[in-house]
Every structure is written in C-alpha cells, then in structure tokens.
Structure 1
C-alpha cells in the first residue's frame, strides 16, 4: 500500500472515530432487576417435607414449585385456592443478536415499552410471551428504545411463596 492510500485510510478512520464513540455511548447500560410472576390456582398436591406444591391454574395447566418462603405452607392443602408469587433476579444488557429461542436461564427479548420513573421494562420474548423486569436503578433504563433487543440472563435461584388466595 502506498503512502497516499495509507493516509486516506488513516484519515477515514480518524474521521469515523467520533461516530463510533458516540454510538457506543448511546447504548443502554446493563442493569440488574427482578422478574415477578404471580398466578392463582388450586393445589393438587403438597409435600411438606420437601416444601413442594403442585398447582393447577384456571386453564388446566399444572406446575410444581419448591417453596422458599414456607411461612404459609402449613395452611396449604390439596383443593385449596392459592396465590403463587415467584421472584427471580435478572441481568439485562444490550443484545447484538436476533430473537431466538434459547435456554430458560438466558434469552434475547425485544423492548416493548418502559417506564423511566419506575424502572419497569416490558419485554417480548422469542415465543411472543410478554414479561416485565423491574430495574433496581430506574435511571439505567433511560437509553432503552422500543424495538431494541436485549439479552436477559436469569439467576438460577427463584424465590417462591404460596399463600391462601383471597376469597
């Protein structure tokens, strides 16, 4: 490569450097938050020793949970109506990939909406399911935009509480 061509290439790279720098600054910062899932159902089975509860929802779907908050477990019996609350920590960061089915611990989602004041972000997963993550620091969602893709990495631990449903 001659000196003139090298000079042109170097000049183009120097001229583009501020553009790359400002684009990187506009990307949202990763943030930590919580995903909360709440549902009502009827208890199918209880294992007091293992702290396990099997619940059937209104659509006939069945799920088993290991309850981490056992304060109400003694009140839970087969046939009881219950309210289940699951809380899971997550790390949300800008994605460089497209939406694709991944693992239950890690997925790519699309930002649907967000509330800068509360820090709640509404996301659509690869299967079209919509879920919310509450940021621990609401200011961290300031640079999000609807349509943007983010990676969600869930912590393996899940906090599960089961309580008698309000009648």
Structure 2
C-alpha cells in the first residue's frame, strides 16, 4: 500500500492499493480500478470547496469536483444500470445528460464525494456478487450486451483518462504534481 499522507483540509489519508504483480485476472482488475479511484481522491485532498470548483481554463467548466461528480455517474451507469439492470436516473440529471455532472459550480466536496463514494460501494458490491467476469448486462447506448470484464476495463480506462485531467487541474491550483 502506498500512503499519500495526511492533508491539511481533511486530515484524511488516502491509501492507494498496489495491483498484484502475479494476481489473477479479477483480482488484478479490481486492484487497478481501486488504484485509479484512490488516485482521483488523492488529487482532491487538502483542497477547499472553492479550489475543487476552480475551472481549468475558460471556456471549459472542467474542475476536480466536476470529475468526481462525473465518475459517480460513470460508476452508477456501468455497474448499476448496465450490469445490474437497475432502472434509475443519473445522480445529477433526470434527462440522462452526462454533461450536467461536470458543472460543479453549486456543489460541495461533501455532496460530490458522498454521491461518488456511495456509487463506488454499489459497484464493488455488484462486482463481488457476480459469479464471473463473463456476466453480462445490456448497454443501451451501444445496443449490445457487455461483460463485467469489459466494464472493469472500461472503468480503468475512464479513470486513467480523467486522472490525467486531475493532474493538470491540481497543478494549476497549488502546484502539486505527481502520484
């Protein structure tokens, strides 16, 4: 485990799991996904709500808090709606507009992180309870059945891409880089 250390704003410590070097497929995918989830949390540690809402560069509305909200929607969609077949709206949009989550101008750390962490816990439960990575669910946007394996890979990709954005956002706020 890698320890990011305490942060001045929250006194929280985000521990980032190191994926196994010789683990099985499911264990490795699970660990990489948790690694990426932890990375996003680390990028937000020690920042005020105002800093978390700081925009990257006009006209973009991209913020760290917006990324957290977006990833709550991503977790909810892929695990609960696609794999678990739950009929529920997005967290921030009853109309299914994923872009709404990016606008964190009226959001707080507490609100965004509570929603994101709740969705992560649902995702972990669904993955744990699935008999195998071959389990499928229907992805209506693709009009296709997709496996839990694909969902885990897709979420790793989604987090990795957005964690790159988070790197730049964090550096622009207070100069912190790395991890």
Bin the TM-score by the shorter chain: under 0.3
More strand, by proportion: 1
The higher relative CO (CA closer than 8 Å, separation ≥ 6) is in 1
More helix, by proportion: 2
